[in-house]
């Protein structure tokens, strides 16, 4: 990891009794990044975020922001949360119900002994920026969910921390508002330019907003990559299966070559391969959009039968079966398919990834 990282986490461990919630995590987050921690619930992403905030006390490791060490087990440094210069937007927003909007935002500034006139100016300014002017006197219960969420953001912005921490801030909003807030948050991040560490279990949220994503499982980092790489070349089967909806198709296959070229044998049929991995057997990952369906036998295709057709507006998901193998294909509307009819399945060989059968790790392509 580049030494220029603004927020560095090294060898961080956090245990809850027997459970290792964060397992020797190393991360370097660049200044200005929108960095997303993604994973299923219980994967340790929220614990990691809370370790950065100082709300959890790690067992081992080191956390450094800029040139301030927030935590170091070796040097016995534990900076209390209030001195870390970070602020967080909580999943439930954590607005104090007995304080109005102004008081909620001003709370931390008052504790920091910011002069009253400055506080007022700053609160009014952030509320204005978020289109919330005039709601200073409202109590949280008098605000809609979306407004509460903005107050929580305003509280963070008014404190002007160099690092924004966000713990699933959009998960309590209804679906439509969530879509709107995604673009707003992205814009906000762009305008404020602050380093943002964002926790979510929603892969779409991660892929749409992040500059880089770290996928975690059972406290261990699975992959760190920009969203596009994460989708195209998942580093292992866990990431491959976790990212993408509907789920990636996984098939066991034996590589071989014949007169037509390099191929993969799957049960009683075979499909084309762009290159041959150096294994006797591999797991093949095929995204639904890399599969094409034809109602007639054409080219290099295999006969399947239609199991179910699931139209979803601009796209249609088709489940096809052959023996005990089921594949999901993403197609454009227009193809008329009946249940149990025969279809011929083509697979885009260039979009296939290979994974080791034992370790589940990606088998890298040979260097060209």
Residue 220 CB, nearest distance to other proteins (Å)?
A: 24
Nearest to 155 by CA among 205, 206, 86: 86
Extract long-range pairs of 27-31: CB within 8 Å, 24+ residues apart: 27/1, 27/214, 27/221, 27/224, 28/1, 28/2, 29/5, 29/195, 29/197, 30/2, 30/4, 30/5, 30/6, 30/195, 31/6, 31/195
Under rule CB under 8 A, residue 172 binds other proteins: yes
> One symbol per residue from 66 to 85: x for binding other proteins (CB under 8 A), - otherwise; what is it?
-------xxxx-x-xxxxx-
State the Cα–Cα distance between residues 240 and 287, nearest whole angstrom: 9
- Of 91-99, 125-133, 195-203, 222-230, the window that binds other proteins (rule: CB under 8 A) is 91-99
Residue 356 to residues 77, 94, 253, 362: CA-CA distances in angstroms? 42, 45, 11, 6
338 near other proteins (CB under 8 A):
no
Could you say whether residue 63 binds other proteins (CB under 8 A)?
Answer: no
Q: Kindly state whether residue 116 participates in binding other proteins, applying the rule CB under 8 A.
A: no
Which secondary-structure segment (H or E) carries 125? helix 116-129
Residue ranges in 130-245 assigned as alpha helix (H): 145-159, 175-192, 203-209, 227-232, 237-242
Using CB under 8 A, which of the segments 136-144, 178-186, 195-203, 218-226 binds other proteins? 136-144
Site membership for other proteins, residue 154 (CB under 8 A): no
The side-by-side arrangement of strands in the sheet containing 291-294 is 291-294, 342-347, 302-312, 315-322, 325-331
Single out the segment in contact with other proteins by CB under 8 A; choices: 94-102, 208-216, 243-251, 301-309. 94-102
**Least distance in angstroms from the C-beta of 25 to other proteins:** 21
Closest CA to 147 of 100, 188, 86: 100
114 part of the interface to other proteins, by CB under 8 A: no
Q: Is residue 100 involved in binding other proteins (CB under 8 A)?
A: no
* Identified binder of other proteins from the candidate list 15, 31, 32, 91, rule CB under 8 A: 91
Determine which residue in the list 6, 139, 275, 317 makes contact with other proteins, applying CB under 8 A: 139
Residue 309 CB, shortest distance to other proteins, in Å, is 32
Q: At its nearest, how many Å lie between other proteins and the CB of residue 168?
A: 11
Q: Which of 2, 3, 18, 111 binds other proteins (CB under 8 A)?
A: 111
Q: Judged by CB under 8 A, does residue 90 bind other proteins?
A: yes
Site stretch for other proteins (CB under 8 A), options 3-11, 18-26, 87-95, 331-339: 87-95
Adjacent-strand bridge partners of 330:
317
Find the angle CA(177)-CA(172)-CA(155) to the nearest 5 degrees.
85
Distance from C-alpha of 101 to C-alpha of 218, rounded to nearest angstrom: 38
Residues engaged in binding other proteins (CB under 8 A) = 53-55, 73-76, 78, 80-84, 86-88, 90-98, 107-108, 111-112, 139-141, 148, 155, 159, 172
């Amino acid at each position: 990891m580049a030494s220029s990282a603004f927020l560095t986490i090294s060898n961080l461990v956090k245990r809850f009794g027997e459970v290792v919630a964060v397992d020797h995590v190393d991360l370097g987050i660049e200044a200005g990044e929108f960095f997303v921690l993604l994973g299923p619930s219980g994967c340790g992403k929220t614990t990691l975020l809370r370790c950065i905030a100082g709300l959890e006390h790690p067992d081992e490791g080191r956390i450094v922001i800029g040139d301030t060490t927030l935590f170091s087990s070796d040097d016995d440094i534990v900076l209390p949360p209030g001195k870390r210069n970070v602020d967080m937007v909580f999943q439930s927003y954590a607005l104090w119900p007995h304080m109005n909007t102004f008081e909620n935002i001003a709370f931390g500034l008052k504790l920091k002994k910011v002069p009253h006139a400055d506080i007022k100016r700053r609160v009014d300014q952030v509320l204005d920026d978020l289109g919330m002017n005039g709601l200073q006197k409202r109590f949280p219960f008098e605000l809609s969910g979306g407004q509460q969420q903005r107050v929580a953001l305003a509280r963070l912005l008014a404190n002007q921390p160099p690092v924004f921490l966000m713990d699933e801030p959009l998960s309590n909003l209804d679906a439509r508002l969530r879509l709107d807030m995604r673009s707003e948050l992205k814009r906000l991040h762009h305008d404020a330019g602050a380093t943002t560490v964002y926790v979510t279990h929603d892969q779409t949220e991660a892929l749409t907003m992040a500059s880089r994503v770290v996928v975690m499982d059972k406290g261990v980092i699975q992959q760190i990559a920009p969203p596009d790489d994460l989708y195209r070349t998942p580093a292992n089967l866990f990431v491959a299966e976790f990212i993408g909806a509907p789920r990636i198709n996984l098939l066991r296959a034996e590589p071989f070559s014949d007169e037509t070229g390099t191929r993969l044998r799957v049960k009683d049929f075979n499909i084309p391969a762009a290159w041959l991995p150096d294994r006797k057997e591999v797991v093949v990952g095929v995204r639904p959009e890399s599969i094409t369906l034809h109602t007639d036998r054409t080219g290099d295709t295999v006969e399947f039968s239609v199991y179910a057709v699931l139209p979803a507006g601009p796209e249609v998901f088709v489940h096809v079966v052959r023996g005990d193998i089921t594949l999901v294909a993403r197609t454009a509307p227009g193809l008329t398919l009946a249940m149990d009819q025969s279809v011929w399945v083509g697979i885009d060989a260039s979009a296939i990834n290979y994974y080791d059968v034992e370790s589940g790790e990606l088998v890298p392509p040979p260097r060209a």
